Every structure is written in C-alpha cells, then in structure tokens.
C-alpha cells in the first residue's frame, strides 16, 4: 500500500499508509488525544474522524476546546436530542438542528406542546443514548435516494429541503442507532462523546422564519466536552439572565412597549430618555471635534428616492409598505443615506470642500418580522447615531481609519475591553444579484479597507459574502463585562451609490470626479446600544450616564427643608438628583436606593445640617465620609464632565 505524508500544525510529518483515518493518526500521537479529538480539519476542511485520507495532506485534530470542535459537538448534540424526541414521539416531523453560539436547537412539527416534564424526559433519554455509544455513521447518498428514504419516513420538511437541491448533488446522511438524518456533517465519532449537556428552553419558531409558514416547536440546549466548561457556561447564563436588559429596563423604568403602539416600537420613559440625551451629547461633542456637520432629514420620502438608491431593489423586505399620498408612493425611511446624498448635492463641491462629514440623529423605521423582535436589540423604530463622509480616493484610508479610532475612543469610555472588527466582503457569484456588479471596484475598495485596518493595527477577521449591497463594511463585535457578544455598530464603504445620485466634486485639475462615501454609526442605534449598556453594566451605570445620579435621604422629616436646599444647589449645577422625602426609616430608604441602583446616597441629619454638609454613601462601597456641599459639587461635576467609570473594585467583583 502506498504511503502518504501527513503534515501536522507544528510542521512535523507522519508517514502513514494511504487510507489511514484521522482517528488512527490521533492514536499514534497519544491515547489522551485519541480520547478527546472530535473532528479533523484536512487541508483546511472539517471532516469526520473516520474518513480515510488518500493523499498527502495537512491535518489538525480538534477537540471541544477549539471553536470548530465545539460546534461539531453542539451539532451532534442536536441530532442526539432529535433522536430522543423521535423515541417518545415517533410522529414528530424533523426540520433542522444547527449549532449557534455555544448552543444548539432543533425545530419539530408536533401537535402537542413540550412541557417542563417532557424536557426532563428528553434529557434523560439523551443520557441513555449517550451511554449506548452509538457510532455516528456517514453515508453518501444521491438526491433521488435521499428523497426515497425520507419519503418512506414521512419527513415532509426534509423533502422540502431536498426540493431546493440540484439533482446532481451528492448528499450525506448520518445514522446513529435507529435514527437517521439528512446532514452535510461532519459529526463526532459516536454518541458517547456527548456527556455534559443540558436542555435550556423551548420556544415557537416559524418554518424557515416565514410567518406564513407553520409554527414549529424549538428546543434549545447546550453541550461542552468537560463538566467544567458546562458549569461555567450555565453560570454565565444565570448572570446573563440577571442582566437581561428587558428585566432591568423594567425595574429601572427605562423603556416600555405597548400593544396599542405596536410591537418593536419602544416608548422611552424619562429615565431612558436621559440616557439617550447623554449618548447624543457624547456623540455630538466627539463629532464636533472631528469636523462633522449636523443635518436633519424627514421621516418619509417618495419611492423614487429609494428606487434611485437601490434600496427598493435590495432592501424592500425590510421596509414598511408604501403609503399613497396624492397618488404618489411614499415610504417611511429605513436609513438616512439617500437624504444625505441629496444634502450633498444641494450645492456644488470642489476638492477643497472634502472630506465632508454629515451627521444626523434622526429616527428610521425597519420592518422586522415579529418572531425576530427582541427587546431593544431588534426593534422597528431606530434612533440612529448616523453619519456619511464624502471624500476623495486619496482621503479614504485616513477617514476610514479615523472612524475606527472613534470606536476605540468610545470603547475606552464605556469600559469595553474585548472587541473585534469583522470585515464583510462580497462574493463573486452574487455580483448583479446581492451585490452591485462592479467587480474591479469591489476588489479595490476591499483592499483599501484591509490596508487601513492593518495600518491602524486593529484586530479584525474577514467574512466573505456579508458585505452591504453597495460596498464592503466593518461590523464591530464587542463583548460585555460578563463575556456576552453583541454586534454593536457598522462602518461601510459605498463606491456605487454616489454616482447614481450624480454626486461630484471638481478636482484640483478642474475635472469632475465622484466622491467615495463612508456610512458609519459608531454607537449603532440608541436602542441596541442602550440594551448593550444595560447588560454590560448590569444596570449599575457610571455616574455621567445614570438617569438618577444621587438621591438625598433625610433621616427624619425635620431635615427636609435643608434637604430641599441641597437638592436645588445640586440641580442648579445640572446634577440629576432627587429627594426621598417619605417618612420611612433611613435603613429602608437606603435599601430602596440600592434597588434603584443609584450611585450616591446623600444622607442628611443633625450633624450635616450644622456643618452645611452631607454624609456620602456610595453604592457597593458603603459610607465614604462627610463632604461639604461645595466639595461635593466639584466632585460630581469633575466625574460627570470626564465621563469616568465610577464603579469600584467591589462593584466589579460583585458582577463577576
């Protein structure tokens, strides 16, 4: 038998017979690796460990500690769960069961609703199936064979999936015990590898996300290769549940939703409106220093504007339906860019006018399917921190980099320590369909963005097929204080739309040129960003952002008059302070202030009245001493003006 050369990640080489499997190679390296390995990466592609290797190849042996290994384990656990469901409910029809962000799910068409007792029963059956250690057997199958197989099983949804697949495509199925599923894989070697798992929740889900389709039942779960990994994730979920922005938003009276107003349309309560104002103030200060000009545009526009911009062609499903006004179709605006193009075009421009940076804090409206709405994270009414930069090709790289630096400035202010920038690129086969058909411009602008990120020494990863329809973009991923990932903002390049609007400038040689446009929103929408901040801080906002920065607590009614003087003094300095003048005991008032997550409690009694002072109690730190009113004003004003994160180490420890 002919030998082949297998190159491992450390560049060491193993000579093995052709047809050797990845698992057999793992055994030659060591029993621990052979026990832990879940999937192989052969020549850069994920493959089952049992697949024979026929030619010289590179090989990585992946455990659950790697993202690819963990995703394989998650997807295999979804199959195990489906097998358990089919054991108890043979008539349940299978749909899909992918891995998603440390979790998996499977959607079932079943007439009954899963109860908590059912979930326990399914989980126990999964343990039995794991103990049975069924081999996960891969089988190549033609579309015709697959159709016949799943038709005999009555799996209508699998047949619908097969109807969308080309007749000539070779498919794969996976079998474990008496369970078989259509799947491209790869999968772990056997069910015995799935040991540390937990089913988390159930929900409804429309087939293929379409509200016109049947509502299915979805079961979510998670799995890790080690018990420690599972426990760590379950603890994270508990902390995330405590920090859920919907829960804290209600407790702190930040926002609300109302059925008569409509789903996905938040109503900002006074406390939440304060946070929006503070974010706008921060952004306007920052952008004013960076040379932006503030503009305003209307909430609705003729359809012809969105025909010209291409939004009706590429984005209509996310827009609200047109309204007829005097026989003309109007749309509520889903984004500001076409309006800003019109503002640019309102007067002639020369190269001396560029770069031109136009910012707006308007409201946009996007149609999100009801099943996708989620608190402030997915809404239909968006207040955007939006701007468009019009520049020359020569100015582009620096302008793009300056926007990225603005992100870093905001990260420092908000204490965001972990982030990555995801460079979303076009895919060649979607030119003229999903993307503007300008192949050379795509490659050129993607190169500019890549070079800007490298020169700025910014952490980024490339993702093909995720660009905007008019150019490449950066999606900014951030992680909250407890490690929860969020998509925060975007920075997009537009090389196509300015020419559609006949935007131009006269260059230094007197020739007419088309500017490049950068679409950017470093704070995203106020809705999503405040949702992130609620969870990031757990509702314990830094002083400058807190809806209520301090509360005055008189120890008895006879100190209310002095407390009102303190209140006016601080309010006159713009400090957001309130007075608890109820006749409760001071301990009760302190507990209430703690529940409201107020940073500073200013306690007033006989001594404070005599000394024209207050006793200051700081959340998490307790009593920090007596302060004169003028001293307190300076302390507050300095912290607020510098936007300091005022949390103590005790506060951080409490959130970990």
Most confident listed range (127-131, 372-376, 397-401, 408-412): 127-131
Average pLDDT over residues 347-364: 95
Work out the mean pLDDT of the chain and round it to a whole number. Answer: 92
**Which long-range contacts (C-beta less than 8 Å, at least 24 apart) are formed by 224-229?**
224/64, 224/70, 224/73, 224/196, 224/197, 225/36, 225/38, 225/63, 225/64, 225/65, 225/69, 225/70, 225/73, 225/193, 225/195, 225/196, 226/64, 226/196, 227/195, 227/196, 229/64, 229/196
176 bridge partner residues? 179
Number of helices (H) and strands (E) in the chain: give both, helices first: 21, 37
Residue 428 has pLDDT above 90, yes or no: no
Average pLDDT over residues 71-100: 97
Element (H, E) at 53: strand 52-53
What is the crossing angle of helices 439-455 and 393-414, to 10°?
50
Q: What is the pTM of this model?
A: 0.85
Interval 609-642: pLDDT, tens: 999 999 999 988 889 999 999 999 999 999 999 9
Cβ distance 589 to 538 under 8 Å? no
Q: What is the DSSP letter of 236?
A: H
What are the helix (H) ranges across 356-438? 393-414
**What distance in Å separates the CA atoms of residue 650 and residue 200, rounded to the nearest whole number?**
31
Helix, strand or coil, per DSSP, at residue 277: helix
In 64-153, DSSP assigns E strands to 93-94, 99-100, 103-109, 137-142
Average pLDDT over residues 214-234: 96
Average pLDDT over residues 131-141: 96
Residue 646 has pLDDT above 80, yes or no: no
Residue 552, phi then psi, degrees to nearest 5: -95, 130
Cβ distance 419 to 477 under 8 Å? yes
Report the chain's terminal Cα–Cα distance, integer Å: 57
Residue 22 has pLDDT above 90, yes or no: yes
pLDDT category of residue 8 using cuts at 50, 70 and 90: very high
Write a three-state SS string for 441-505.
HHHHHHHHHHHHHHHCCCCEEEEECCCECCECEEEEEEECCCCCEEEEEEEEEECCHHHHCCCCE
Cβ distance 103 to 222 under 8 Å? yes
DSSP string, 313-334: HHSGGGSPPPEEETTEEEEE-S
**What distance in Å separates the CA atoms of residue 563 and residue 579, rounded to the nearest whole number?**
7
Interval 463-516: pLDDT, tens: 888 887 778 888 888 999 998 888 888 888 888 889 999 999 999 999 999 999
More confident residue, 339 or 494: 339
**What distance in Å separates the CA atoms of residue 578 and residue 547, rounded to the nearest whole number?**
11
pLDDT category of residue 655 using cuts at 50, 70 and 90: very low
pLDDT of 467? 83
Q: What is the DSSP letter of 2?
A: -
**What distance in Å separates the CA atoms of residue 630 and residue 632, rounded to the nearest whole number?**
5
CB atoms within 10 A of CB 59: 19
């Amino acid at each position: 038998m002919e030998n082949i050369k297998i190159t491992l990640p450390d560049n060491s080489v193993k000579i093995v017979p052709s047809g050797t499997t990845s698992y057999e190679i793992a055994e030659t390296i060591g029993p621990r690796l052979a026990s832990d390995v879940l999937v192989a990466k052969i020549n850069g592609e994920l493959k089952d460990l049992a697949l024979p290797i026929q030619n010289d190849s590179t090989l990585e042996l992946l455990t659950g500690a790697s993202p690819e290994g963990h995703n394989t384990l998650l997807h295999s656990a979804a199959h195990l769960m489906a097998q358990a469901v089919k054991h108890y409910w043979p008539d349940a029809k299978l749909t899909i069961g992918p891995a998603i962000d440390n979790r998996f799910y499977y959607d079932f068409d079943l007439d009954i609703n899963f109860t908590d007792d059912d979930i326990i029963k399914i989980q126990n059956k999964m343990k039995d199936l794991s103990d049975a250690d069924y081999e996960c057997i891969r089988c190549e199958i033609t579309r015709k064979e697959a159709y016949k197989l799943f038709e005999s099983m009555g799996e209508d949804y699998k047949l619908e999936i097969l109807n969308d697949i080309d007749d000539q495509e070779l498919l794969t199925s996976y079998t474990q015990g008496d369970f078989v599923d259509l799947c491209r894989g790869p999968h772990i070697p056997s069910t015995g590898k799935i040991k540390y798992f937990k089913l988390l929740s159930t929900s409804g889900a429309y087939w293929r996300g379409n509200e016109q389709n049947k509502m299915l039942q979805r079961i979510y779960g998670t799995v890790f290769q080690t018990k420690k990994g599972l426990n760590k994730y379950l603890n994270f979920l508990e902390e995330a549940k405590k920090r859920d922005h919907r829960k804290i938003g209600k407790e702190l009276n930040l926002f609300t939703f109302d059925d008569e107003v409509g789903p996905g349309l938040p109503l900002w309560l006074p406390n939440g409106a304060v946070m929006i104002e503070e974010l706008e103030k921060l952004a306007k200060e920052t952008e004013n220093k960076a040379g932006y000009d503030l503009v305003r545009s209307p909430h609705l526009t003729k359809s012809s504007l969105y025909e010209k911009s291409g939004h009706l062609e590429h984005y209509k499903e996310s827009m609200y339906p047109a309204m007829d006004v005097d026989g003309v179709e109007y749309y509520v605006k889903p984004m500001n860019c076409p309006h800003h193009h019109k503002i640019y075009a309102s007067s002639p421009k020369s190269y001396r006018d560029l770069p031109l940076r136009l910012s707006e804090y308007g409201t946009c409206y996007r149609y999100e399917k009801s099943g996708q709405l989620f608190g402030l994270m997915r809404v239909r009414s968006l207040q955007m921190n939006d701007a468009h930069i019009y520049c020359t090709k020569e100015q582009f790289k620096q302008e793009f980099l300056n926007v990225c630096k603005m992100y870093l400035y905001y990260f420092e202010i908000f204490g965001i320590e972990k982030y990555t920038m995801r460079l979303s690129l076009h895919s060649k086969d979607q030119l003229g369909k999903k993307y503007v058909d300008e192949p050379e411009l795509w490659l050129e602008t993607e190169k500019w963005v890549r070079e800007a990120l490298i020169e700025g020494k910014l952490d980024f990863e490339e993702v093909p097929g995720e660009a905007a329809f008019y150019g490449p973009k950066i999606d900014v991923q951030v992680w909250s204080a407890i490690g929860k990932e969020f998509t925060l903002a975007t920075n997009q390049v537009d090389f196509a739309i300015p020419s559609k609007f006949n935007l131009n400038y006269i260059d230094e040689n007197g020739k007419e040129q088309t500017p490049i446009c950068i679409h950017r929103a470093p704070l995203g929408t106020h809705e999503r960003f405040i949702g992130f901040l609620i969870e990031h801080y757990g509702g314990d906002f830094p002083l400058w952002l807190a809806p209520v920065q301090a509360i005055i607590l008189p120890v008895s009614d006879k100190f209310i008059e002095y407390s009102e003087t303190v209140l006016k003094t601080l309010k006159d300095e713009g400090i957001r302070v309130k007075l608890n003048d109820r006749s409760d005991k001071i301990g009760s008032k302190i507990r209430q202030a703690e529940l409201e997550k107020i940073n500073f409690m200013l306690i007033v009694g006989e001594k404070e009245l005599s000394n024209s002072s207050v006793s200051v109690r700081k959340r998490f730190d307790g009593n920090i001493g007596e302060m004169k009113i003028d001293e307190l004003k300076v302390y507050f004003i300095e912290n607020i003006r510098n936007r300091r994160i005022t949390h103590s180490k005790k506060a951080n420890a409490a959130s970990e």
